[in-house]
Structure 1
Amino acid sequence: MTARLGFSWPALVGLAALAAPRVVLHDLGVVEEGTLLTGLLVVVPPACWVAAVLWWRPPRPFATVVVVGALYGVLLAAGHQLLWDAALGGRTPPLGGALAGTGPAVAEVLLRAAAVVSSLVTGTLVGVVAGAVALLLRRVAGEDRSGTGGRA
Protein backbone atom coordinates (compact mmCIF):
# COMPACT_ATOMS: atom_id res chain seq x y z
CA MET A 1 0.00 0.00 0.00
CA THR A 2 2.72 2.52 0.89
CA ALA A 3 4.43 1.80 -2.45
CA ARG A 4 1.28 3.02 -4.22
CA LEU A 5 1.04 6.05 -1.97
CA GLY A 6 4.72 6.91 -2.34
CA PHE A 7 5.31 7.53 1.38
CA SER A 8 5.89 5.33 4.42
CA TRP A 9 3.18 5.16 7.08
CA PRO A 10 5.27 7.25 9.50
CA ALA A 11 5.63 9.92 6.82
CA LEU A 12 1.88 9.89 6.12
CA VAL A 13 1.09 10.20 9.83
CA GLY A 14 3.72 12.94 10.15
CA LEU A 15 2.12 14.93 7.36
CA ALA A 16 -1.30 14.51 9.00
CA ALA A 17 0.16 15.58 12.34
CA LEU A 18 1.08 18.96 10.86
CA ALA A 19 -2.60 19.86 11.25
CA ALA A 20 -2.90 18.64 14.85
CA PRO A 21 -1.76 21.84 16.61
CA ARG A 22 -4.87 23.66 15.41
CA VAL A 23 -7.09 21.11 17.15
CA VAL A 24 -5.26 21.49 20.45
CA LEU A 25 -5.00 25.27 20.31
CA HIS A 26 -8.64 25.65 19.33
CA ASP A 27 -10.03 23.23 21.90
CA LEU A 28 -7.97 24.84 24.65
CA GLY A 29 -9.20 28.29 23.63
CA VAL A 30 -5.71 29.56 22.77
CA VAL A 31 -6.75 30.64 19.27
CA GLU A 32 -10.11 31.97 18.18
CA GLU A 33 -11.92 31.50 14.87
CA GLY A 34 -11.46 34.27 12.34
CA THR A 35 -7.92 35.26 13.32
CA LEU A 36 -4.91 35.24 11.02
CA LEU A 37 -3.25 32.57 13.15
CA THR A 38 -6.28 30.29 12.85
CA GLY A 39 -6.31 30.86 9.11
CA LEU A 40 -2.67 29.85 8.89
CA LEU A 41 -3.28 26.78 11.04
CA VAL A 42 -6.08 25.76 8.67
CA VAL A 43 -4.32 26.44 5.34
CA VAL A 44 -0.63 25.69 5.91
CA PRO A 45 -0.85 21.95 6.76
CA PRO A 46 -2.83 20.98 3.62
CA ALA A 47 -0.53 23.22 1.59
CA CYS A 48 2.38 21.20 2.99
CA TRP A 49 0.61 17.97 1.96
CA VAL A 50 0.27 19.34 -1.58
CA ALA A 51 3.88 20.50 -1.60
CA ALA A 52 5.04 17.06 -0.43
CA VAL A 53 3.31 15.23 -3.27
CA LEU A 54 4.51 17.80 -5.80
CA TRP A 55 8.08 17.45 -4.55
CA TRP A 56 8.30 13.67 -4.13
CA ARG A 57 5.88 12.77 -6.96
CA PRO A 58 4.14 9.67 -5.59
CA PRO A 59 2.41 7.54 -8.24
CA ARG A 60 -1.07 8.44 -6.94
CA PRO A 61 -0.96 11.98 -5.53
CA PHE A 62 -4.72 12.27 -5.03
CA ALA A 63 -4.97 9.00 -3.09
CA THR A 64 -1.89 9.91 -1.07
CA VAL A 65 -3.33 13.22 0.09
CA VAL A 66 -6.76 11.69 0.77
CA VAL A 67 -5.07 9.13 3.04
CA VAL A 68 -3.20 11.95 4.82
CA GLY A 69 -6.52 13.77 5.25
CA ALA A 70 -8.19 10.65 6.64
CA LEU A 71 -5.31 10.24 9.10
CA TYR A 72 -5.76 13.88 10.03
CA GLY A 73 -9.43 13.07 10.67
CA VAL A 74 -8.36 10.34 13.10
CA LEU A 75 -6.05 12.81 14.89
CA LEU A 76 -8.81 15.41 14.88
CA ALA A 77 -11.27 12.94 16.43
CA ALA A 78 -8.74 11.83 19.06
CA GLY A 79 -7.85 15.42 19.92
CA HIS A 80 -11.46 16.46 20.34
CA GLN A 81 -12.16 13.43 22.54
CA LEU A 82 -9.10 14.01 24.72
CA LEU A 83 -9.84 17.73 25.09
CA TRP A 84 -13.62 17.36 25.37
CA ASP A 85 -13.94 18.69 28.92
CA ALA A 86 -11.49 21.55 28.34
CA ALA A 87 -13.27 22.62 25.15
CA LEU A 88 -16.74 22.51 26.69
CA GLY A 89 -15.86 23.77 30.14
CA GLY A 90 -16.74 20.42 31.67
CA ARG A 91 -20.40 20.68 30.61
CA THR A 92 -21.91 18.66 27.79
CA PRO A 93 -24.52 20.71 25.94
CA PRO A 94 -28.09 19.42 26.20
CA LEU A 95 -29.72 17.77 23.21
CA GLY A 96 -32.77 19.31 21.61
CA GLY A 97 -35.60 18.12 19.44
CA ALA A 98 -36.71 14.52 19.78
CA LEU A 99 -33.71 13.81 22.01
CA ALA A 100 -34.43 16.60 24.48
CA GLY A 101 -34.74 15.30 27.99
CA THR A 102 -32.26 12.48 27.63
CA GLY A 103 -29.89 12.22 30.50
CA PRO A 104 -26.49 13.88 30.44
CA ALA A 105 -24.68 10.55 30.04
CA VAL A 106 -26.69 9.65 26.94
CA ALA A 107 -26.24 13.16 25.56
CA GLU A 108 -22.48 12.96 26.03
CA VAL A 109 -22.21 9.58 24.32
CA LEU A 110 -24.28 10.76 21.35
CA LEU A 111 -22.43 14.06 21.02
CA ARG A 112 -19.02 12.40 21.32
CA ALA A 113 -19.98 9.86 18.64
CA ALA A 114 -21.20 12.67 16.38
CA ALA A 115 -17.93 14.53 16.97
CA VAL A 116 -15.92 11.47 15.93
CA VAL A 117 -17.91 11.00 12.73
CA SER A 118 -17.72 14.72 11.98
CA SER A 119 -13.95 14.74 12.53
CA LEU A 120 -13.37 11.74 10.26
CA VAL A 121 -15.51 13.27 7.51
CA THR A 122 -13.87 16.68 7.89
CA GLY A 123 -10.34 15.30 7.73
CA THR A 124 -11.14 13.15 4.71
CA LEU A 125 -12.80 16.05 2.90
CA VAL A 126 -9.80 18.28 3.57
CA GLY A 127 -7.70 15.51 2.05
CA VAL A 128 -10.02 15.29 -0.99
CA VAL A 129 -9.79 19.04 -1.61
CA ALA A 130 -6.02 19.16 -1.08
CA GLY A 131 -5.59 16.03 -3.21
CA ALA A 132 -7.61 17.61 -6.03
CA VAL A 133 -5.41 20.72 -5.82
CA ALA A 134 -2.27 18.56 -5.96
CA LEU A 135 -3.57 16.60 -8.93
CA LEU A 136 -4.60 19.79 -10.73
CA LEU A 137 -1.20 21.39 -10.12
CA ARG A 138 0.58 18.30 -11.45
CA ARG A 139 -1.58 18.33 -14.55
CA VAL A 140 -1.08 22.07 -15.11
CA ALA A 141 2.67 21.53 -14.78
CA GLY A 142 2.37 18.89 -17.50
CA GLU A 143 3.54 16.10 -15.26
CA ASP A 144 0.34 14.08 -15.24
CA ARG A 145 -1.78 13.65 -18.33
CA SER A 146 -2.78 10.05 -17.73
CA GLY A 147 -5.28 10.72 -14.95
CA THR A 148 -3.69 8.00 -12.81
CA GLY A 149 -1.19 10.18 -10.99
CA GLY A 150 1.89 8.89 -12.83
CA ARG A 151 4.08 10.63 -15.33
CA ALA A 152 2.80 10.73 -18.90
Structure 2
Amino acid sequence: MKTLSKYNPELKITIPVIISFLIILIVFIVLMDQNIPKYIVLFGILIVCSIWIHKRYTESYRLFFNEKHFLLKNKNSERNIALEDIKRVKSIFNDMKILGSQIYQYEIDFENEIGVYETINFYISGMNSSILEFKNLVKLKSPNTNIEDFTKN
Protein backbone atom coordinates (compact mmCIF):
# COMPACT_ATOMS: atom_id res chain seq x y z
CA MET A 1 0.00 0.00 0.00
CA LYS A 2 1.53 3.30 -1.08
CA THR A 3 0.68 6.67 0.39
CA LEU A 4 -0.81 9.24 -1.95
CA SER A 5 -1.65 11.97 0.55
CA LYS A 6 -0.81 11.11 4.14
CA TYR A 7 -1.02 14.69 5.42
CA ASN A 8 -4.19 15.72 3.57
CA PRO A 9 -6.18 16.42 6.80
CA GLU A 10 -3.42 18.64 8.16
CA LEU A 11 -3.14 20.54 4.89
CA LYS A 12 -6.93 20.96 4.69
CA ILE A 13 -7.11 22.74 8.05
CA THR A 14 -4.39 25.28 7.24
CA ILE A 15 -6.79 27.83 5.73
CA PRO A 16 -9.49 27.42 8.45
CA VAL A 17 -6.83 27.93 11.15
CA ILE A 18 -5.63 31.13 9.46
CA ILE A 19 -9.20 32.41 8.95
CA SER A 20 -10.08 31.60 12.57
CA PHE A 21 -7.03 33.46 13.82
CA LEU A 22 -7.92 36.51 11.70
CA ILE A 23 -11.55 36.48 12.87
CA ILE A 24 -10.50 36.34 16.53
CA LEU A 25 -7.97 39.13 15.97
CA ILE A 26 -10.51 41.37 14.21
CA VAL A 27 -13.19 40.76 16.85
CA PHE A 28 -10.67 41.48 19.62
CA ILE A 29 -9.71 44.79 17.98
CA VAL A 30 -13.35 45.78 17.41
CA LEU A 31 -14.37 44.90 20.97
CA MET A 32 -11.34 46.43 22.66
CA ASP A 33 -13.09 49.72 23.57
CA GLN A 34 -16.54 48.21 24.18
CA ASN A 35 -18.07 47.71 27.61
CA ILE A 36 -19.34 44.22 26.84
CA PRO A 37 -17.54 41.15 28.20
CA LYS A 38 -15.20 40.70 25.24
CA TYR A 39 -13.53 37.57 26.58
CA ILE A 40 -16.84 35.70 26.66
CA VAL A 41 -17.49 36.70 23.03
CA LEU A 42 -13.96 35.70 22.02
CA PHE A 43 -14.31 32.38 23.85
CA GLY A 44 -17.58 31.70 21.97
CA ILE A 45 -15.93 32.47 18.63
CA LEU A 46 -12.97 30.28 19.59
CA ILE A 47 -15.31 27.37 20.33
CA VAL A 48 -17.15 27.78 17.00
CA CYS A 49 -13.87 27.97 15.07
CA SER A 50 -12.49 24.94 16.94
CA ILE A 51 -15.58 22.89 16.06
CA TRP A 52 -15.22 23.95 12.41
CA ILE A 53 -11.53 22.96 12.31
CA HIS A 54 -12.15 19.66 14.11
CA LYS A 55 -15.00 18.73 11.75
CA ARG A 56 -12.89 19.54 8.70
CA TYR A 57 -9.99 17.51 10.10
CA THR A 58 -12.01 14.40 10.96
CA GLU A 59 -13.88 14.37 7.63
CA SER A 60 -10.71 14.69 5.54
CA TYR A 61 -9.33 11.51 4.04
CA ARG A 62 -5.82 10.13 4.06
CA LEU A 63 -5.30 8.59 0.63
CA PHE A 64 -3.52 5.36 -0.26
CA PHE A 65 -3.37 3.11 -3.31
CA ASN A 66 -2.15 -0.25 -4.51
CA GLU A 67 -2.29 -2.08 -7.86
CA LYS A 68 -6.07 -2.63 -7.62
CA HIS A 69 -7.62 -0.06 -5.28
CA PHE A 70 -7.71 3.55 -4.26
CA LEU A 71 -8.16 3.65 -0.47
CA LEU A 72 -9.72 6.54 1.45
CA LYS A 73 -9.30 6.53 5.25
CA ASN A 74 -10.53 8.98 7.81
CA LYS A 75 -11.37 8.78 11.49
CA ASN A 76 -14.86 7.42 10.81
CA SER A 77 -14.52 5.18 7.76
CA GLU A 78 -12.37 3.33 5.28
CA ARG A 79 -13.38 3.03 1.63
CA ASN A 80 -11.90 0.96 -1.20
CA ILE A 81 -12.45 2.26 -4.73
CA ALA A 82 -11.39 0.12 -7.69
CA LEU A 83 -8.92 1.92 -9.95
CA GLU A 84 -11.23 1.09 -12.87
CA ASP A 85 -13.93 3.25 -11.25
CA ILE A 86 -11.79 6.41 -11.36
CA LYS A 87 -13.09 8.67 -14.12
CA ARG A 88 -10.82 11.73 -13.82
CA VAL A 89 -7.64 12.85 -12.09
CA LYS A 90 -7.19 16.61 -12.28
CA SER A 91 -4.51 18.86 -10.86
CA ILE A 92 -5.82 22.29 -9.96
CA PHE A 93 -3.45 25.16 -10.59
CA ASN A 94 -2.59 27.01 -7.41
CA ASP A 95 0.37 28.85 -6.01
CA MET A 96 0.08 27.71 -2.41
CA LYS A 97 3.21 27.31 -0.34
CA ILE A 98 3.48 26.28 3.29
CA LEU A 99 6.83 26.95 4.95
CA GLY A 100 8.40 27.26 1.50
CA SER A 101 7.15 23.88 0.25
CA GLN A 102 4.93 23.90 -2.83
CA ILE A 103 1.48 22.39 -2.21
CA TYR A 104 -0.56 20.95 -5.09
CA GLN A 105 -4.30 20.44 -5.10
CA TYR A 106 -5.83 17.46 -6.92
CA GLU A 107 -9.34 16.36 -7.66
CA ILE A 108 -10.37 12.76 -8.35
CA ASP A 109 -13.77 11.87 -9.79
CA PHE A 110 -14.88 8.29 -9.26
CA GLU A 111 -17.90 6.04 -9.14
CA ASN A 112 -18.49 5.00 -5.54
CA GLU A 113 -19.65 1.68 -4.10
CA ILE A 114 -23.33 2.33 -4.92
CA GLY A 115 -22.76 3.68 -8.43
CA VAL A 116 -22.94 7.41 -7.65
CA TYR A 117 -20.24 9.76 -8.96
CA GLU A 118 -18.20 11.51 -6.28
CA THR A 119 -15.36 13.99 -6.26
CA ILE A 120 -12.63 14.15 -3.66
CA ASN A 121 -10.19 17.05 -3.30
CA PHE A 122 -6.82 16.54 -1.70
CA TYR A 123 -3.48 18.23 -1.25
CA ILE A 124 0.03 16.89 -1.65
CA SER A 125 3.39 18.45 -1.05
CA GLY A 126 5.83 19.09 -3.86
CA MET A 127 8.08 16.36 -2.50
CA ASN A 128 5.46 13.63 -3.10
CA SER A 129 6.57 11.45 -6.00
CA SER A 130 3.82 8.85 -5.66
CA ILE A 131 1.29 11.00 -7.58
CA LEU A 132 3.11 10.21 -10.84
CA GLU A 133 3.05 6.51 -10.04
CA PHE A 134 -0.66 6.76 -9.17
CA LYS A 135 -1.52 8.55 -12.44
CA ASN A 136 0.41 5.97 -14.46
CA LEU A 137 -1.31 3.11 -12.64
CA VAL A 138 -4.75 4.67 -13.26
CA LYS A 139 -3.91 5.08 -16.98
CA LEU A 140 -2.91 1.43 -17.12
CA LYS A 141 -5.96 0.06 -15.27
CA SER A 142 -8.51 2.46 -16.75
CA PRO A 143 -7.42 3.77 -20.17
CA ASN A 144 -10.57 5.92 -20.56
CA THR A 145 -9.76 7.96 -17.45
CA ASN A 146 -9.25 11.64 -18.17
CA ILE A 147 -6.00 12.89 -16.61
CA GLU A 148 -5.62 16.68 -16.55
CA ASP A 149 -2.28 17.85 -15.27
CA PHE A 150 -1.37 21.50 -14.67
CA THR A 151 1.61 20.89 -12.39
CA LYS A 152 5.26 21.07 -13.34
CA ASN A 153 5.77 17.34 -12.56
TM-score (norm 1): 0.31
TM-score (norm 2): 0.31
Name the larger-Rg structure: 2
Greater helix fraction, Structure 1 or Structure 2: 1
Higher relative contact order (CA 8 A, sep 6+): 1
Greater strand fraction, Structure 1 or Structure 2: 2
